[in-house]
Amino acid sequence: MKDIFENEMKLEFISKSSNEAFARVAVAAFVAQLDPTIEELADIKTAVSEAVTNCIIHGYENRQGIVKIVGYLKENEVILEISDNGKGIENVDIAKEPLYTTKPNLERSGMGFTIMESFMDTLEVESIIGLGTKITMSKKIKPKIENDEGEFQMITKD
């Protein structure tokens, strides 16, 4: 049975690097419904930026194509699927290694996947050569409670 999500959105745009800012801000506005902290929101924006950059630079290698983002909100969790129909990744395990890059001449740091992995809770990469790549990442937004003074506090679980 398909999961029922509380909210869902789809976003498609052409693979121009000027759309990176649009993508991360749009996703952040969607996620804002879960009332994340500034830090949580910054983490998600950074991860989205890395993923979208990968689609544009590596997936399409600056040729024109469509980048697709599907976002789900489920209870206190954000799930994001970011995909392209580009060239695909030959070896996902190697691509995920810190500092690994296929384009060092373009001042790429090779930190994209590492940042996505550490800023989000989960990251999955599915890729088929010649067909494209889809990454799915999720992050739980910590619920907040109101204390006596009317200030919000983080709930921390041991």
Q: Are 150 and 77 in contact (CB under 8 A)?
A: no
Note the residue count of the chain: 158
User: Binding to other proteins by residue 102, rule CB under 8 A?
Assistant: no
Half-sphere exposure of 62 (CA within 13 A, CB side): 2
- Binder among 7, 12, 14, 21 for other proteins (CB under 8 A): 21
Closest of 20, 28, 46 to residue 123, by C-alpha: 46
- Binder among 111, 138, 140, 144 for other proteins (CB under 8 A): 111
Q: What angle do CA 34, 51, 30 make, to 5 degrees?
A: 20
- Binder among 56, 67, 123, 125 for other proteins (CB under 8 A): 56
Is 97 an annotated catalytic residue?
A: no
Q: Chain centroid to CA 15: how far?
A: 16
User: Binding to other proteins by residue 17, rule CB under 8 A?
Assistant: yes
Is 85 an annotated catalytic residue?
A: no
User: Minimum distance between the CB of residue 110 and other proteins, rounded to whole angstroms?
Assistant: 8
Is 50 an annotated catalytic residue?
A: yes
- Binder among 42, 66, 70, 92 for other proteins (CB under 8 A): 42
Of 26 and 111, CB closest to other proteins: 111
Half-sphere exposure of 24 (CA within 13 A, CB side): 18
- Binder among 1, 106, 154, 155 for other proteins (CB under 8 A): 106
User: Binding to other proteins by residue 62, rule CB under 8 A?
Assistant: no
- Number of residues in contact with other proteins, rule: CB under 8 A? 24
Q: Are 98 and 110 in contact (CB under 8 A)?
A: yes
For the annotated catalytic residues, the residue numbers are 50, 54, 108
Binding residues (CB under 8 A) for other proteins: these are 17-18, 20-21, 24, 39, 42, 45-46, 49-50, 53, 56-57, 99, 106-109, 111-112, 114-115, 118
